[in-house]
Amino acid sequence: MKTVSENTCFGGVQGVYTHTSKSCACDMTFGLFLPEEATYGPVPVLWYLSGLTCTHENAMVKAGAQGWAAEQGIALIFPDTSPRGEDVADDEAYDLGKGAGFYVNATQDPWKRHFQMWDYLAEELPALVADNFALDMERQAITGHSMGGHGALTLAMSLPGRFVSVSAFAPIAHPTASDWGRKQFAAYLGADDSTWTPHDSTLLMRDRGFDGPVLIDQGADDQFFDLLKPESLAGAMAARRQDGTFRMQKGYDHSYFFVSTFMEDHVGFHAEALHE
């Protein structure tokens, strides 16, 4: 692992690091904010997964999360959204290939060599940060935006006991029924749509739910509303009587202006669960 940069931030340190990933067969980059409390011992962890076209950097510089995390004594991890490198497969469309890993393990060519984002986030990166930083991996929570909200929800419901809470900003909520999902799953996972269902948060909510609190914020003026299908997830949460809150935010779109507006709420929501 190599240090790209470290900057003092709200009394803590915002770092950027690279490492050679076995899962993705390339060099990967991630951001990590450590609050001042990490100087004295391990701190709880909040993962933030980003959306289409993003890198580790978007949320790190736009979401305004570090100040709220510093107040709560929580670390923030900002992974990348896909493998990177000249030999990594890509597509001309913005919603497939680099910047659009969809947090799955690809099984189809030309994607399967590098696009193993599920294993990277479920196994490899957690082990790496646990070995190198003052993190309490017994206290983890996860959030994300758009494609990252999809990833946060599917990881949380598929790894019982890993995360104490999960939240999402405008998640891709029902990808097996949306062009933001069907296209990518067909490319990465193949035509058999039975392999897609483990990566659909609406279907997972119907089938198993989450064993902790859930918070979803959705902009009512989101320009991608029809692709996100938030009503499907809201209905599944209600039918399951999931411990959670779904909020429709009038006037807000899909941008980081929306995310940053409600970031304090999300960090506070996770802090309550992480500090119990």
Spot the catalytic one: 23, 222, 232, 266: 222
Asked about 23 being catalytic, the answer comes back as no
H or E segment to which residue 68 belongs: helix 65-72
**Residue (of 170, 169, 166, 134) closest to 274 by Cα position:** 166
CB 101 within 8 A of CB 110: no
Q: Give the angle 78-12-128 at the CA atoms, nearest 5°.
A: 40
Please list, in sequence order, all residues whose beta carbon lies within 8 angstroms of the beta carbon of residue 96, skipping any fewer than 6 positions away: 183, 184, 187
Quick one: tokens of 247?
């909020």
User: Which strand (E) or helix (H) includes residue 72?
Assistant: helix 65-72
146 is catalytic: yes
Q: Say if CB 266 and CB 69 are below 8 A apart.
A: no
- The closest of 47, 108, 109 to 79, measured between CA atoms, is 47
Active site residue 222: yes
- From 21, 146, 178, 201, active-site residue: 146
Catalytic residue among 145, 254, 266, 270: 254
Q: Would you give the end-to-end CA distance of the chain in angstroms?
A: 32
**Backbone phi, psi, residue 255, to 5°:** -85, 175
Q: Which residues are catalytic?
A: 146, 222, 254
